[in-house]
Amino acid sequence: MYTPTNKTYVDIMTKVEKATEKWVADKLAAADSNEDPKTVVTEEDKQAQRERIFMEKYGDALFEFKVKSFQKELDELKIKARGHVDKFNDFVKDLEADERYTERGKADLYRAERKKVEKILIEIGDTQHELWVKIQELEVDSAQTAWQKLQNEMTPDSISPSEFHYIDMILSRNNSDEMREKLAKQFHYHIAVLDLLNSEKGVTPIHHPLERLKNKAVSHVKLFHVELPGTMTSGYLSDLLRNLNGKVFLEGDSELNNQRANPLV
């Protein structure tokens, strides 16, 4: 029976895996108590949580606190944005029913109010994006710190000659993908062991379950105008803000466009 000699490395991997399994069990138990049959934990969900636990436990000491602080600001901005959207949409409903204005007058009031709220929402969206970039930067720093700690425990000499001999002996009897995966798991995906298991040409490579973190990077791409509470809520102003009487183009739009195109006419 294999007995690991690198206790620190094994301890890190074991704690991360146990915490991940607990997270899965708790999530499914919560779904059962709420009688929610739709809750499914995919391998990607599990992997993302495994990486998150590893970063929080072995990365930046203040990682979780800092992320929660930025996330709180983000949540507050989402609520603020929701308030502006609701207020504008209520304004449009009232304007549609108001008989004091002509259609042209309503269109002018609508445009002026929409221009103001769009500016506010875009500014909120820019602040949200800045916070999201800061969260990503924290994640990258914490991921690299945690991975470096793990890598420091994965030096080639942390696997003993007798352990390498044990692996060679097993592979000489059975070199199937299943056996190689079993050995990788048995040695907690130690990089020196993976190098040996992946050395033969043509075999399916086995990767360390946390190595994705060493290549984690910050994305500066802004996908939406603004974020509101609720994962299913659109982030585009065209979807969030009500059109006057359901029309995308308002009364007099063609005239205004002609005036802009021919200012001397």
Q: Is residue 217 part of a domain?
A: no
Q: What is the pLDDT confidence band of residue 86, given thresholds at 50, 70 and 90?
A: very high
- Report how far residue 76's alpha carbon sits from residue 183's, in angstroms, rounded to the nearest whole number: 48
Higher pLDDT, 36 or 141: 141
Instruction: Output the pTM of the full model.
Output: 0.79
pLDDT single digits (tens) 12-40: 999 999 999 999 999 988 877 776 677 78
What's the total number of domains in the chain?
1
pLDDT value, residue 40: 85
Q: Is residue 238 part of a domain?
A: no
For 212, which DSSP code?
Answer: G
Instruction: State mean pLDDT over 168-186.
Output: 94
Q: Is residue 56 part of a domain?
A: no
- CB-based contact 212:147 (threshold 8 Å): no
Q: Is residue 250 part of a domain?
A: no
- Report how far residue 189's alpha carbon sits from residue 7's, in angstroms, rounded to the nearest whole number: 14
Q: What is the pLDDT confidence band of residue 2, given thresholds at 50, 70 and 90?
A: low
Is the pLDDT at 226 greater than 90? The verdict is yes
Instruction: State mean pLDDT over 66-74.
Output: 95
Instruction: State mean pLDDT over 249-258.
Output: 54
Q: Which domain holds residue 145?
A: 62-152
- Report how far residue 129's alpha carbon sits from residue 221's, in angstroms, rounded to the nearest whole number: 9
Alpha-carbon 191 to chain mean position: 27
Q: Is residue 90 part of a domain?
A: yes
Name the least confident of 5-9, 158-162, 176-180: 5-9
Q: Is residue 89 part of a domain?
A: yes
Phi, psi at 50, each rounded to 5°: -60, -45
The structure tokens listed for 77 are: 């901005």
Q: Is residue 99 part of a domain?
A: yes
- Report how far residue 120's alpha carbon sits from residue 111's, in angstroms, rounded to the nearest whole number: 14
Q: Is residue 14 part of a domain?
A: no
The structure tokens listed for 132 are: 């999201």
Instruction: State mean pLDDT over 219-236.
Output: 87
